[in-house]
């Protein structure tokens, strides 16, 4: 129940919607049972069952009271007036009109209550989806190395969709259907206490059987959602890597993997369907069983002349009791949806409950400028149990360009990722202007930094919006100026719509060099004092590299730059070159100084010039 109420809490504010839903639902139930209760006076009128004494009792208006007798007395009073004025047919017409009006009111209040329920459902789902998206965007980068992207997408889309159905079904199961059953049983008790007590004693049998089926559904429901997450992940990987799939003629391999998971998903759902569909015929059979029992027991009471139950009351009783079975069947049919929703809710809260490793201190300082230096003091870092950096000491003065070079896997990118606090050191500290990075507000720290990576991260939007990404108030002239600095303006103007051209998913309509220059233009527009370039030219051809390198040179002017490069020719003019190997700084100096040391840097340089 805690999980359910936690899910429902996302439908806030509920203070206005829930009371309206409860009132409208109760009104629809009351008018629904009223039209069935009126069957008794119809039979009384049709079969002339009212004695003169009974008719005489209804010649006076009743005194108000919150009882069924008051309602019946009021009804029979007007029924009596119609019979006196218009005869038996007039009385029958009066009953039929009242039934039509009560049916209309039932439909109206049912519609209005369903609208309120729709608002509750939509509010809960919208808030839940926003919450999980917001949480995912706040989590540290290490979280995404352990999670499948497709599975996260499945939680935000499919799992939330399952919760939507669960909320609707659970509210009806926990309120509307029980309220319907309670109101109907109040009327049934009013018609015959003895017969209703007999019914109440046997009904729990049905509830016990159906609850036993429901308990077995939750485990399979969770397995179904996890399988669906894996399917979405496979789709994301295959569609995103279709070039590789075709190049390695691996279509059959990926199809087999996908088919096995789809078949597993189908098997799980068939297993659930077998159990779920069992609930409906069981409740149907038990319902008929109870009706037959009531016919035998109640019929014997009528035939034996029991004064507490006449023929019209018995027929009305049967009609009302058959309606009690409908909410019971609705409850049994809702169990699968509820179990799937609760299992989906568990998967959603597994993400929502993750504690981000990178958080602000309560008294975090908003950082507005970078004035002096960035310093690594005995910094070590490990991914779980794999130590990547080991006691790094490095100072970077404002306005200087520092190049990080060395063999792959040595820790260069990790060193750069620690600066914007994508991760925090496991040992040591990084200081900016003399204060640890952990003292600063994370977002204010990251606003001072521009990052250009080997892979250009672009979005399926216009060129203008990609350059102005994160800057909604950017002016057109500023965007154009940034594009010119990044050597991107000329190719942009050659596109069909210029700066308003759509670039496709991940910039698929552009070449690698064009995508990289847009990334650089984005960094230029942000105008950060600290710039991190992570192998920004390594994947480009010679012509594109020349244009991009020129753009990077323009970008780096007047900024503090940390450049990671495999092509050593691109960083020869750096103020200091730091050679990183196996998590340690093994050499440092200018290009000329390092060549004189006869160390790793010279070896790497010679390998690239051969």
Of the ranges 177-191, 415-429, 511-525, the best mean pLDDT one: 415-429
Q: Judge whether residue 214 has pLDDT over 60.
A: no
Q: How many alpha carbons lie under 13 Å from residue 469 in its C-beta half-sphere?
A: 18
**Final residue of a domain: which of 321, 352, 383?**
352
pLDDT tens digit sequence for 147-160: 677 777 778 777 88
Mean pLDDT of 287-293: 71
Q: Are residue 484 and residue 418 in the same domain, yes or no?
A: yes
Alpha-carbon Rg of the chain, whole angstroms? 37
In a domain, 475, yes or no: yes
Distance CA 250, CA 541 (A): 28
Mean pLDDT of 422-434: 89
Contact (CB, 8 A) for 218 and 320: no
Please tell me the predicted confidence (pLDDT) of residue 49: 60
Contact (CB, 8 A) for 298 and 309: yes
Q: Is 366 exposed, middle or buried (0-12, 13-18, 19+ CB in 10 A)?
A: exposed
Q: Are residue 332 and residue 379 in the same domain, yes or no?
A: no
- Lowest-pLDDT range, 114-123, 293-302, 419-428? 293-302
Please tell me the predicted confidence (pLDDT) of residue 306: 60
Please tell me the predicted confidence (pLDDT) of residue 245: 67
Q: Are residue 170 and residue 115 in the same domain, yes or no?
A: yes
pLDDT tens digit sequence for 362-387: 888 888 888 888 899 999 998 877 88
Query: In this structure, what is the dihedral angle of CA atoms 569, 575, 581, 583, given to the nearest 10 degrees?
Result: -140
Structure tokens at 610: 């051969």
Q: Are residue 146 and residue 287 in the same domain, yes or no?
A: yes
Q: Are residue 416 and residue 313 in the same domain, yes or no?
A: no
pLDDT tens digit sequence for 23-43: 888 888 888 877 777 777 666
In a domain, 361, yes or no: no
Please tell me the predicted confidence (pLDDT) of residue 67: 65
Q: Give the CATH number, domain containing residue 401.
A: 3.40.50.300
In a domain, 363, yes or no: no
In a domain, 358, yes or no: no
Q: Are residue 345 and residue 447 in the same domain, yes or no?
A: no
Q: 364 vs 97, 279, 360, 382, CA distance in Å?
A: 71, 56, 6, 25
Distance CA 146, CA 135 (A): 16
Residue 589 forms beta bridges with which residues? 577
159 Cβ contact partners less than 8 Å away, ≥ 6 residues apart: 225, 229, 344, 345, 347, 348
pLDDT tens digit sequence for 215-266: 556 566 667 777 777 777 777 767 666 656 666 567 777 778 778 888 887 8
In a domain, 529, yes or no: yes
For residue 365, give the DSSP letter.
B
Structure tokens at 463: 């060129």
Q: Are residue 144 and residue 265 in the same domain, yes or no?
A: yes
pLDDT tens digit sequence for 485-531: 888 888 888 888 888 888 887 777 888 778 888 888 888 888 888 88
Q: Are residue 111 and residue 142 in the same domain, yes or no?
A: yes
Q: Are residue 333 and residue 427 in the same domain, yes or no?
A: no
- Which contiguous run of DSSP H or E holds residue 587? strand 584-589
Q: Are residue 105 and residue 156 in the same domain, yes or no?
A: yes
- Which contiguous run of DSSP H or E holds residue 585? strand 584-589
**Final residue of a domain: which of 301, 322, 352?**
352
Q: 425 vs 64, 358, 391, 403, 447, CA distance in Å?
A: 77, 11, 10, 20, 20
In a domain, 182, yes or no: yes
Of residues 308 and 118, more confidence is placed in 118
Structure tokens at 494: 């050659």
Q: Are residue 434 and residue 384 in the same domain, yes or no?
A: yes
Q: 250: domain range?
A: 2-352
Contact (CB, 8 A) for 374 and 431: yes
In a domain, 359, yes or no: no
372 Cβ contact partners less than 8 Å away, ≥ 6 residues apart: 397, 398, 433, 434
Structure tokens at 511: 């070449």
Q: Are residue 100 and residue 178 in the same domain, yes or no?
A: yes
Q: Give the CATH number, domain containing residue 266.
A: 1.20.1560.10
Q: What is the pTM of this model?
A: 0.69
DSSP string, 301-338: HHHTT-TT--HHHHHHHHHHHHHHHHHHHHHHHHHHHH
Other beta carbons less than 10 A from residue 92's beta carbon: 18
Total domains in the chain come to 2
Q: Judge whether residue 213 has pLDDT over 60.
A: no
Instruction: Please give the span between the terminal C-alpha atoms of the chain, in angstroms, as a whole number.
Output: 70
Q: What percent of the chain has pLDDT over 90?
A: 2
Please tell me the predicted confidence (pLDDT) of residue 108: 92
Q: What is the 3-state secondary structure (H, E, C) of 218-270?
A: HHHHHHHHHHHHHHHHHHHHHHHCHHHHHHCCCHHHHHHHHHHHHHHHHHHHH
Of the ranges 20-29, 53-62, 543-552, the best mean pLDDT one: 20-29
Other beta carbons less than 10 A from residue 119's beta carbon: 15
Query: In this structure, what is the dihedral angle of CA atoms 410, 413, 414, 420, given to the nearest 10 degrees?
Result: 160
Query: In this structure, what is the dihedral angle of CA atoms 424, 520, 557, 372, given to the nearest 10 degrees?
Result: -20
Of residues 21 and 544, more confidence is placed in 21
In a domain, 366, yes or no: no
């Amino acid at each position: 129940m805690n999980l359910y109420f936690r899910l429902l809490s996302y439908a806030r504010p509920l203070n206005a919607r829930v009371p309206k839903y409860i009132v409208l639902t109760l009104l629809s139930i009351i008018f629904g049972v009223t039209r069935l209760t009126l069957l008794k006076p119809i039979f009384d009128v049709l079969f002339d069952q009212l004695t003169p004494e009974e008719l005489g009792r209804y010649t006076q208006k009743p005194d108000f009271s919150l009882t069924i007798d008051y309602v019946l007395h009021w009804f029979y009073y007007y029924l009596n007036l119609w019979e006196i004025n218009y005869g038996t047919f007039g009385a029958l017409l009066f009953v039929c009109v009242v039934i039509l009006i009560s049916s209309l009111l039932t439909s109206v209040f049912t519609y209005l209550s369903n609208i309120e329920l729709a608002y509750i459902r939509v509010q809960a789902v919208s808030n839940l989806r926003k919450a999980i998206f917001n949480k995912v965007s706040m989590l540290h980068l290490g979280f995404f190395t352990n999670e499948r992207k497709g599975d996260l997408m499945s939680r935000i889309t499919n799992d939330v969709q399952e919760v939507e159905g669960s909320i609707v079904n659970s509210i009806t199961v926990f309120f509307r259907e029980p309220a319907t059953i309670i109101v109907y049983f109040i009327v049934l008790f009013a018609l015959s206490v003895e017969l209703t007590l007999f019914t109440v004693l046997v009904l729990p049998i049905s509830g016990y059987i159906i609850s036993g089926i429901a308990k077995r559904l939750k485990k399979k429901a969770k397995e179904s959602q996890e399988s669906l997450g894996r399917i979405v992940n496979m789709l994301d990987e295959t569609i995103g890597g279709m070039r590789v799939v075709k190049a390695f003629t691996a279509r059959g391999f990926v199809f087999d993997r996908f088919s096995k998971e789809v078949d597993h998903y189908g098997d799980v759902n068939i297993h659930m369907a077998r159990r779920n569909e069992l609930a409906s015929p069981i409740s149907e059979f038990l319902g008929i069983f109870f009706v037959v029992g009531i016919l035998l027991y109640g019929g014997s009471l009528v035939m034996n002349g029991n004064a507490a139950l006449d023929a019209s009351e018995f027929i009305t009783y049967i009609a009302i009791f058959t309606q009690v079975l409908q909410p019971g069947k609705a409850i049994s049919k809702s169990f699968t949806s509820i179990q799937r929703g609760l299992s989906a809710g568990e998967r959603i809260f597994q993400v929502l409950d993750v504690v981000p490793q990178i958080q602000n201190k309560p008294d975090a300082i908003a950082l507005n400028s970078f004035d002096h230096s960035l310093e690594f003091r005995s910094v070590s870092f490990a991914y779980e149990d794999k130590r990547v950096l080991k006691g790094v000491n490095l100072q970077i003065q404002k306005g200087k360009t520092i190049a990080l070079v060395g063999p792959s896997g040595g820790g260069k990118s990790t060193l750069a990722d620690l600066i914007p606090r994508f991760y925090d050191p496991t040992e040591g500290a990084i200081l900016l202007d003399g204060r640890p990075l952990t003292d600063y507000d994370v977002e204010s720290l990251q606003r001072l930094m521009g990052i250009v990576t080997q892979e250009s991260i672009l979005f399926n939007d216009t060129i203008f919006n990609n350059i102005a990404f994160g800057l909604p108030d950017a002016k057109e002239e500023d965007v154009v100026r940034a594009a010119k600095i990044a050597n991107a303006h000329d190719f942009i103007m050659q596109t069909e719509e210029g700066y308003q051209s759509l670039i496709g998913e991940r910039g698929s309509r552009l070449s690698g060099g064009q995508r990289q220059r847009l990334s650089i233009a984005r960094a230029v527009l942000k105008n950060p004092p600290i710039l991190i370039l992570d192998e920004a030219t390594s994947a480009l051809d010679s012509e594109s590299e020349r244009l991009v390198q020129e753009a990077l040179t323009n970008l780096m002017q007047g900024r503090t730059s940390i450049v990671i490069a495999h092509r050593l020719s691109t960083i020869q003019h750096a103020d200091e070159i730091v050679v990183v190997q196996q998590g340690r700084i093994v050499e440092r100096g200018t290009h000329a100084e390092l060549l004189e040391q006869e160390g790793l840097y010279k070896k790497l340089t010679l390998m690239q010039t051969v």
